[in-house]
C-alpha cells in the first residue's frame, strides 16, 4: 500500500509495541497548535467572580443540553466552579481579542476588580458573569466533573443561553488570535 502523497505518515512500530508511549508535552503542544479553536471566557462565582480565557470548550449533547470545559486544577477558578456548582461561558467575537488576552494574563487584578475592564452582567440563573458583546453565552449548572490529568473536565447542563449580533468569531490557531467571519449564522 503506497502512502498518500503530501500527508504526514504516522510513526508505526516495527516490533511488538507493548504499552503506548506518551507524546512529550512539547510535541503535543506543537501538534495541538494546528487545531483552530474558538475562544471563550469561562466565569464563575457571583459574590467574588473569577474568570479565565479558555479554548478547551466543546458541545457534548443537545438533548439534554450539555457542554464541557477543561480547567487546570491549579487555576483559581477551578475551586470556584466546584464551590458554586455552576459556571458561564462567553464565546468571544472577533473584536474581543483584548478580553481574551486580559483573562489569560496572570497579573490581572483579582477579586471584585477582575471584571472592571469589561462590560458584564450576572447570569439570570447562577449569577456567573456573562461578558457583554460576546458572540454567544451559556449559563451552566455543574452536571459532572471528571479527572483529566492535570485538568478537570467540567460538564455543564445548559440552563440558559443566547447569541449576540456579532458576525465574526475569535479563533486561536498556531499560538495566535485570528478572526473569522460567520457565514449564514
pLDDT score for 22: 86
Stretch among 2-6, 52-56, 93-97, 121-125 having the lowest mean pLDDT: 2-6
Task: Give, in degrees to the nearest 5, the angle at Cα 174 between 30 and 57.
Answer: 90
Q: Is residue 28's pLDDT more than 80?
A: yes
Average pLDDT over residues 116-145: 96
- Which is nearest to 56 in space by CA: 102, 24, 96, 104? 104
Percent of the chain past pLDDT 90, that is, above it, reads 65
Q: What are phi and psi of 35, to 5 degrees?
A: -105, 115
Domain ranges of the chain: 25-181
Q: Is residue 16's pLDDT more than 70?
A: no
Which residues, 6 or more positions from 111, have their beta carbon under 8 angstroms from its beta carbon?
A: 48
CB burial of residue 42 (10 Å; 0-12, 13-18, 19+): buried
Q: Is residue 76's pLDDT more than 70?
A: yes
Identify the CATH assignment for 25-181 out of 2.30.110.10, 2.40.110.10, 3.40.50.450, 3.20.20.70. Answer: 2.30.110.10
Total-model pTM: 0.84
The label of the residue with cell 502523497 reads 5
Amino acid at each position: 500500500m503506497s502512502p498518500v502523497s503530501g500527508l504526514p505518515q504516522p510513526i508505526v512500530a516495527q516490533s511488538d509495541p507493548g504499552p503506548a508511549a506518551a507524546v512529550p508535552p512539547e510535541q503535543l503542544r506543537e501538534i495541538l497548535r494546528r487545531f483552530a479553536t474558538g475562544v471563550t471566557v469561562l466565569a464563575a462565582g457571583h459574590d467574588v467572580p473569577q474568570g479565565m480565557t479558555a479554548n478547551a470548550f466543546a458541545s457534548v449533547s443537545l438533548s439534554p443540553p450539555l457542554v464541557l470545559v477543561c480547567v487546570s486544577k491549579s487555576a483559581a477558578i477551578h475551586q470556584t466552579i466546584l464551590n458554586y456548582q455552576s459556571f458561564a461561558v462567553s464565546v468571544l467575537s472577533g473584536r474581543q481579542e483584548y478580553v481574551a488576552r486580559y483573562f489569560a494574563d496572570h497579573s490581572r487584578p483579582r477579586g471584585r476588580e477582575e471584571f472592571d475592564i469589561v462590560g458584564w452582567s450576572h447570569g439570570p440563573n447562577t449569577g456567573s458573569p456573562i461578558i457583554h458583546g460576546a458572540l454567544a453565552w451559556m449559563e451552566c449548572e455543574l452536571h459532572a466533573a471528571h479527572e483529566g490529568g492535570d485538568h478537570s473536565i467540567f460538564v455543564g447542563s445548559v440552563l440558559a443561553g443566547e447569541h449576540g449580533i456579532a458576525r465574526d468569531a475569535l479563533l486561536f490557531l498556531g499560538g495566535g488570535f485570528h478572526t473569522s467571519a460567520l457565514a449564514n449564522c
